[in-house]
């Protein structure tokens, strides 16, 4: 579904992506792990067409998106759902209006149909009855669930999650993971997710890729990653201070 070839991106003199290559299969949950500041969100922003690479190419479902102009990219983006890092709900809109937003922006559906779809999505993420509240009136876990409802309300083919569980208690992390798995089973979207939740990610990903020093140093199924002979992967998933990765 997604093919990324030799992606390079620098900001000023800082090389962030240095030849990133990765494929994501249709219908799988691919989880990208790696150091804080290592370029995971920058990578996602390239997939979203929000950043242009200095070099390299990206194909989505056979279309080279790195060759597209603004309005052509908008067409591709209509098939996307996105949960941005931090949730990024509109504070001035209720939970209901946040979830309705992409339907109002991207479709010509009647208000009654939009209301029905929003209520259905809110129910699927366990937020029935919370639609009238504002983001600052609900808990962090509820905001994450609202962001997931907003990302999925258009029934996208591809969903990007940037750290959807950061800052939540362990029970809520598990609950959000189960919610994502449940929705994935129902809607069969292709997912690219950035997460620091180790070891939980090994329970929900079909494949895991580790981004380090601007490249994917290893990608494979959870067992292959856990048993990897690559010392960078081992140090990272065990959180060890000693090893090839500098701690600070």
Positions in the binding site for Mg ion (CB under 5 A): 40-41, 85
Residue whose CB is less far from Mg ion, 85 or 206? 85
Helix-, strand-, coil-residue percentages of the chain, each rounded to 5: 40, 25, 35
Site of interaction with ligand ATP (CB under 6 A): 11, 16, 34, 36-42, 85
C-alpha 44/C-alpha 24 separation (Å) is: 13
The option from Mg ion, ligand ATP, none interacting with 141 (CB < 5 to 8 A, set by class) reads none
Residue whose CB is less far from ligand ATP, 10 or 68? 10
Residue whose CB is less far from ligand ATP, 37 or 129? 37
- Smallest distance, Å, CB 39 to Mg ion? 8
The option from Mg ion, ligand ATP, none interacting with 16 (CB < 5 to 8 A, set by class) reads ligand ATP
Which residues contact residue 147 at a Cβ distance below 8 angstroms, ignoring those fewer than 6 apart? 83, 84, 87, 88, 89, 98, 164
Rounded CA Rg of the chain: 18
Residue whose CB is less far from Mg ion, 85 or 235? 85
- Smallest distance, Å, CB 248 to ligand ATP? 14
- Smallest distance, Å, CB 42 to Mg ion? 8
Residue whose CB is less far from ligand ATP, 34 or 102? 34
Q: Are 41 and 35 in contact (CB under 8 A)?
A: no
Which residues contact residue 69 at a Cβ distance below 8 angstroms, ignoring those fewer than 6 apart? none
C-alpha 193/C-alpha 181 separation (Å) is: 12
- Smallest distance, Å, CB 123 to ligand ATP? 31
- Smallest distance, Å, CB 44 to Mg ion? 8
Going by C-alpha positions, the residue among 111, 113, 125 that lies closest to residue 81 is 125
Q: Which residue is nearest to Mg ion (CB)?
A: 41
């Amino acid at each position: 579904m997604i093919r990324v070839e030799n992606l390079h991106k620098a900001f000023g003199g800082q090389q962030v992506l240095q030849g990133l290559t990765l494929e994501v299969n249709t219908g799988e949950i691919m989880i990208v792990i790696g150091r804080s500041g290592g370029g995971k969100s920058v990578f996602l922003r390239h997939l979203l067409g929000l950043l242009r690479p200095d070099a390299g190419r990206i194909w989505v479902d056979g279309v080279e998106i790195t060759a597209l102009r603004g309005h052509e990219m908008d067409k591709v983006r209509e098939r996307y759902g996105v949960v941005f890092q931090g949730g990024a709900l509109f504070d001035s809109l209720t939970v209901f209006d946040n979830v309705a937003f992409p339907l109002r922006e991207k479709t010509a559906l009647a208000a009654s149909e939009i209301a029905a779809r929003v209520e259905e999505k809110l129910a699927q993420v366990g937020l029935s009855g919370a639609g009238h509240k504002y983001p600052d009136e609900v808990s962090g876990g509820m905001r994450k669930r609202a962001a997931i409802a907003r990302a999925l309300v258009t029934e996208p083919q591809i969903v990007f999650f940037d750290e959807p569980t950061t800052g939540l208690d362990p029970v809520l992390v598990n609950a959000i993971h189960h919610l994502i798995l449940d929705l994935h089973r129902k809607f069969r979207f292709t997912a690219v997710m950035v997460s620091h939740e180790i070891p939980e990610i090994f329970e929900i990903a079909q494949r895991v890729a580790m981004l380090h020093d601007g490249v994917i140093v290893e990608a494979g199924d959870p067992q292959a990653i856990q048993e990897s002979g690559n010392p960078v992967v081992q140090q990272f998933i065990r959180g060890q201070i000693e090893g090839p990765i500098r701690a600070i």
